[in-house]
Chains A and B, each alone.
Chain A
């Protein structure tokens, strides 16, 4: 029988540094104990089912997610070495939980998403599945051996991705998975959490278990699949009828963009270019955390809107910004990030990813440049569509006039949800303004993945693609925009006539009937007409391209038949 030391651990072993700071080691072990208690608490509450009252369930999730977030941040800031929590010497399992550079950032992000979802959800909506899912996803990231990992995966699949009893049924094989198009607030954790955990596992699988020289076809497959997935999800986001659907599809697109970054980093690692690998991996990580934060924010905003206005369907909303200003403000921050507007968090990630792709074009000669150029084209299309989908969702749901009487009566009452939204918005803004320090937190992760650290390229003020000159200074751009805005406001105040009058919006002479005192809601641009305007030109291009391809093929086919 093999000894415990000879057993194959699920995670690749990282040698512990014997000269490591004793405080950091103690901290890591305290953190591991805290994680294990948090996971045990979540599993306990989840297994308790209906016997645990919803307020107690909510408190347990809040405590577990909060503790995990604080501990993961402490481990990240202290830069602690990897450590494993074993049950006991000689126990059947080599280790129960393990924290290392590859898991700590993702545990922090997952805990933040879980905490925000727990704060925003009213007690009655807290189900046992929610607690079980958070526990399972945490265990998935922290699992030290195959048994823990397998158990966590099974629980996560059962708790998060089987449709809820009484929920909407979908036809065919899709019955087994929940619909992104009908995502609601309870889906914030399954969508954003699963994306974070899935990305972390993919990263570990490819970079640690893949060896020092992973095959190039892995990278190519990841690049092409990621780009195709991002475009498909972006199209879904543009077509979504629901605020939750937009958020879910945007998260899926973010995962696709992250996969492109992973593929690029993998190709660079295979070509022994650790600096390029770090650039691509850093871009993918920044982009993923930005998308996860923004999608969670949008889902929570959708939850508040749904409870206040009775629906999250875009064709029933409108004018919510005036009725729910805090919720609208949080959604606006998320929209800026999803629309990749500088200096948002989404733009920082996209900038770094595009810089990596720019340098990656020369990676393997002309034959690799062709697929990478196609990936670039797909990426640009996905980015444009995602930005359009975010603007469409925010503009139609939060701006304009209410499209239903129930929406016109919405009021902002939920203090915890408002708190969660504002906290997430604050984190999102900080992540956008300070991408350099955020990347420095990922330095051990980049090192463990075989990439070089970002070094001087991830400065406090400037994110540089190369060691010298230029770069993206988010704080500088934000200051420039603020100064320009102040200048414009000052000039207008000095020169323009102050004050304004309020009157009915000019509808080109059309008037509303007397039984519609707030104006005719149907006269506004709706989600369908917006989508039609977006997709009709693309459909035209597809038809023309299809015709251009079909005609020569048909000619060849006819020629062949004649020859036969």
Chain B
């Protein structure tokens, strides 16, 4: 891969992700409303709201420190950094050498840690409650996330995401079963990182509703716009990652024919659209998960990841 090709592609991917992120959030909200029998908002509504929030003067809590003001920017910066590392439609990107799955998990953790600290810094009851729930869910999802990373790394011969995606196309039945189990193990982590689910409403004041707007209770103006942008970008990142891990085709590389390069973008768009539709259907039709349900789902995710690792180790599939 040459820098002359990789750098423009990485920047193009970042620009596309940043542009698509609010649209995708809008599409998810609109579809969710339609599945629920309502007209819902327009797809462009998140963009409009972000512009409106950027123009508003923010109001900060009296005791807020510089950490409170910078937390939204840190959360968005971590998501932007991850957006360069996650392959969307091509395997030729300048982010390839840095795109380690463990690093991506760490960047997701950095984004969430800044939200947790911002929630506590606000000094409000709801902010603290949301921060504690967000941390609890992060603890619960960490085993599933890391065991899934191990399973994918065993399949791909290392934890580099580009190498994993390149290797996922091959393999026999056992490898496919292990990949599916690892994919299932990633789902609770994706839910925790994006704060999405049947009750992912930032205005909600109950158990899982707190996750969506964990630290947003005390924010307004440009800070709230940054938080919403970070959440929307996280959604695109996770949908791209999960889509490419489940359906590892349509990614163009240096050896691909011109037609494959032309088809790469629409295929990525289809994966995002499919993921968004499934998410909206689940959010509209599913019932609000209780804490015990969440804990059980995370435990099952960890067991699925562990089963994938054991399956690969015992069958001698993959290798590092």
Give me the interface of A with B, judged by CB distance under 8 Å.
318-319, 321-322, 332, 339-342, 347, 351, 354-355, 357-359, 361-362, 366, 369-370, 373, 376-377, 379-381, 383-385, 387-388, 391-392, 394-396, 399-401, 462, 465-466, 469-473, 476-477, 480-481, 484-485, 487-489, 492, 495-497, 499-508, 510, 519, 523-525, 529-530, 533-534, 536-538, 540-541, 544-545
Interface residues on B, range: 35 or more
Binary A-proximity of B197-219 (CB < 8 A = 1, otherwise 0): 00000000000000000000110
In the complex with contacts A339-B113, A395-B120, A395-B121, A358-B296 CB distance below 8 A = no
- What is the interface of chain A mostly: helix, strand, loop, or mixed? helix
Are the C-beta atoms of B98 and A476 separated by less than 8 Å?
Answer: yes
Q: In the bound complex, what is the Cα–Cα distance between A487 and B65 (angstroms)?
A: 22
Let me know if B163 and A381 touch, CB within 8 A.
no
Besides the known contacts A341-B113, A502-B60, A538-B295, 8 further A-B residue pairs in the complex with CB atoms under 8 A apart: A369-B309, A377-B143, A469-B160, A470-B160, A497-B221, A503-B60, A524-B123, A540-B291
Q: Does B77 contact A (CB under 8 A)?
A: yes
B285 CB within 8 Å of chain A:
no
Are B60's CB and A481's CB within 8 A?
A: no
* Residue of A with least CB distance to B67: A321
Considering only residues 225-275 of chain B, those with a C-beta below 8 Å from chain A are: 225-226
CB pair B57 A499 closer than 8 Å:
yes
Question: A29 to B157, alpha carbons, bound, how many Å?
Answer: 47
Q: How far is the CB of A424 from chain B (nearest CB, A)?
A: 20
Contacts of A530 in B (CB 8 A): 128, 131-132, 135
Inter-chain CA distance A340–B109, complex, in Å, is 9
Question: Please, could you name 27 A-B residue pairs with CB atoms under 8 Å apart, sorted by A?
Answer: A341-B109, A354-B102, A358-B320, A377-B143, A380-B302, A387-B139, A395-B116, A395-B131, A470-B159, A481-B110, A484-B76, A484-B80, A485-B73, A488-B73, A488-B76, A488-B80, A492-B54, A496-B222, A497-B55, A497-B222, A505-B61, A505-B63, A508-B124, A523-B125, A529-B132, A536-B291, A540-B292
Q: Are B146 and A500 in contact (CB under 8 A)?
A: no
Whether B78 sits at the interface, judged by CB under 8 Å, is yes
Q: Judge whether A376 and B309 touch: CB under 8 Å.
A: yes
From 57 to 109 in chain B, residues with beta carbon under 8 angstroms from any chain A beta carbon are 57-65, 67, 69, 73-74, 76-78, 80-81, 84, 97-98, 100, 102-103, 106-107, 109
Which residue of chain A lies nearest to B223 when distances are taken between CB atoms in the complex? A500
Q: Which of A362, A487, A537 contacts B292 (CB 8 A)?
A: A537
Main SS at interface, chain B: helix
The answer, yes or no, to whether B280 is at the interface (CB within 8 Å) is no
Q: How far is the CB of B291 from chain A (nearest CB, A)?
A: 6
By beta carbon, the residue of chain A nearest B104 is: A342
- Assess the B136–A391 pair: CB atoms within 8 A: no
Question: Which of A347, A380, A395 is B146 in contact with, Cβ under 8 Å?
Answer: A380
Q: Tell me the complex Cα distance, A480–B83, Å.
A: 11
- In the bound complex, do residue A480 and residue B84 qualify as a contact, i.e. CB atoms below 8 Å apart? yes
Bound: A361/B153 CA distance, A = 12
Residue of B nearest to A532 (CB): B132
Chain B residue nearest to A238 (CB atoms) is B139
Q: Contact between B309 and A361 (Cβ–Cβ < 8 Å)?
A: yes
